[in-house]
């Protein structure tokens, strides 16, 4: 499995040389490639990626706004996600495919299993357990909490998580539910508890994008080492091969 971090920026105004495009992951295996998320900065640029399919975590603009002009391939999301945009003209001419939560679906040789996340009431979100060959990763770029976390992270090689905030909580609780973003610090603890050996941070917020990443990286590595986990901050164009 080859991972290419096409974009690593969250829904923020800040950008930098390392974080210009909205968070998007390209998963490649045996000459097939699936694009996960396609935010507004990808509008009119999807053809350059040339994915065999696109899979969406949810329908916020920084994850689905690049599809406003349509898509050159099939687009997969959960029925809860599609229901939220059924009246939007921008998504009517797309080849829509539906994924069932916690039910594995193989797309072009790569298996995706959606796990519901707490993140937003207006845009129901999922994270994906992604398997190709003998390697399994989990991708959750916007997250407060992973439902069925034990099952979602079982035997996962790399957890790719939400970098909106490093230590400060961005979680709110309106109407008896949780929305927002859980800090990297807490996600590293999840990895420790579920025996996931490595975390890669994407969907980076201003705390990362506007920082000195060498200093912040050292702080994060210390935080991760205390939990027995490796960590790194992804940047646009970063590649990682897992065997």
**What is the secondary structure of 160-188 as a DSSP string?**
EEE-S-SSS-EEE-GGG--EEE--HHHHH
Q: Does the pTM exceed 0.95?
A: yes
Task: Report the DSSP pairing between strands 158-162 and 170-172.
Answer: unpaired
**Residue 82: pLDDT band by 50, 70, 90 thresholds?**
very high
- CA–CA separation, 94 vs 74, rounded Å? 7
Ramachandran category for residue 155: left, alpha or beta (phi over 0 → left; psi -120 to 50 → alpha):
left
Chain center to CA of 161: 6
Q: Domain locations in the chain? A: 2-241
- pLDDT tens by residue, 202-221: 999 999 999 999 999 999 99
CATH top class, domain 2-241: alpha beta
For 66, 144, 149, 171, the CA distances from 180, given in Å and listed in that order, are 22, 6, 18, 5
- pLDDT tens by residue, 151-171: 999 999 999 999 999 999 999
């Amino acid at each position: 499995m080859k991972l290419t971090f096409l974009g690593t920026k969250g829904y923020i105004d800040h950008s930098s040389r390392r974080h210009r495009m909205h968070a998007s992951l390209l998963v490649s295996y045996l000459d097939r490639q699936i694009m996960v998320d396609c935010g507004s900065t990808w509008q009119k640029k999807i053809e350059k990626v040339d994915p065999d399919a696109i899979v969406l975590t949810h329908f916020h603009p920084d994850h689905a706004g690049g599809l406003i002009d349509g898509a050159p391939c099939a687009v997969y999301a959960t029925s809860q996600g599609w229901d939220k945009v059924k009246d939007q003209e921008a998504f009517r001419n797309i080849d829509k495919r539906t994924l069932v939560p916690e039910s594995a679906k193989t797309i072009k040789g790569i298996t995706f299993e959606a796990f519901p996340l707490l993140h937003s009431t207006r845009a129901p979100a999922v994270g994906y357990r992604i398997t190709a060959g003998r390697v399994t990763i989990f991708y959750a770029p916007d997250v407060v909490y992973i439902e069925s976390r034990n099952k979602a992270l079982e035997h996962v090689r790399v957890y790719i998580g939400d970098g909106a905030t490093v230590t400060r909580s961005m979680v709110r609780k309106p109407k008896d539910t949780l929305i927002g973003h859980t800090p990297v610090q807490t996600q590293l603890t999840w990895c420790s508890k579920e025996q996931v050996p490595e975390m890669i941070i994407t969907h980076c917020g201003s705390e990362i994008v506007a920082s000195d990443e060498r200093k912040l990286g050292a702080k994060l590595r210390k935080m991760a080492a205390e939990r027995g986990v490796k960590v790194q901050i992804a940047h646009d164009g970063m590649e990682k091969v897992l065997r």
